[in-house]
Amino acid sequence: MKKIALLFSVLLFIGCQNFGNLKFISNLSKNLEEVSGTEVVSDSKLIWMLNDGGNKPKIYGVSKKGKIVKDITIKAKNNDWEDLASDEKGNLYIGDFGNNESDRKNLTILKIKHKDLSSSKKVEVEKIKFYYPNQTKFPPKKKEYFFDSESFFYYKNSFYIFTKSRVKNKFGKTSLYKIPTKKGNHKAEFISEFNNGKEMDSWITSADISNDGSKVALLSPSSVLIFSDYKNDDFLSGKLTKIPLNYISQKEGITFKNKNTLLITDEKAHGVGGNFYELKLN
């Protein structure tokens, strides 16, 4: 009877919460309290997630209901893992480019081969390094803290990275850079920039592109930005549809489930979040 009462209390609490435009799927495990990346991968039945810096170097395969099915230990340090991306072959990529103080010189993307997603052992990764050509000081002055990032995706043999501003009154500024997917130390190619607002709830925390390449989704704590009808790979040049979520939390993971459905995760912080959501697009 106690278990039934506890379950009822949990369901009642969830039912009373207002998640705005987000459809609640489930709470996430305590092992994913600092979830910072979420990705749907080709030829995988699982949704893959990771935690950010300071956590174990693991990725987690999660069911459609948000339950951890498996975890894989990666043979690389979690300096500051921030996002996940994948290619058409089902290879998975970790964005180890969190850079709060804009002082890192070891920005890296880690490649996990698709076959290793079924592994039960520690897996090796290939390291793809890059740097921002317009950064000359590590760290720069605080008014130039524009070299953090929590967002990227794969598209046509390139990675597209969206920066996160740490500058007061310019928190919503994001710059789009491009680097190749091959091993090496690459000079990031600047493409364009966009300003989403002044406040912290406007900074960009995750990104994804639909499988057909027609839509790009950028996530912030308060909204989702959908870009379409862009010119070539200047995704920020496209038509913008801004979807207010009406629920502010530390949202840091977004991925396309299909062309018209997004999956979103948030960290558990300040008594809210730690959940798995769905958002339908019109």
Helices marked H in the chain = 2-16
* CA dihedral sign, ordered 178, 262, 92, 151: positive
- Domains of the chain, CATH where assigned: 27-280 (2.120.10)
Token pair 């996990």: residue? 112
| CA-to-CA dists, residue 159 to 45, 110, 152, 178, angstroms | 24, 12, 7, 6
By the 10 Å C-beta count (0-12 exposed, 13-18 middle, 19+ buried), 136 is classed as exposed
Using an 8 Å Cβ cutoff, are 59 and 112 in contact?
A: yes
Phi, psi (deg, nearest 5) at residue 10: -65, -45
pLDDT by 10s per residue, the chain, length 282? 544 444 334 433 444 467 889 999 999 999 999 999 999 999 999 999 999 999 999 999 999 999 999 999 999 999 999 999 999 999 999 999 999 999 999 999 999 999 999 988 899 999 999 999 999 999 999 999 999 999 999 999 999 999 999 999 999 999 999 999 999 999 999 999 999 999 999 999 999 999 999 999 999 999 999 999 999 999 999 999 999 999 999 999 999 999 999 999 999 988 889 999 999 997
pTM of the full structure: 0.93
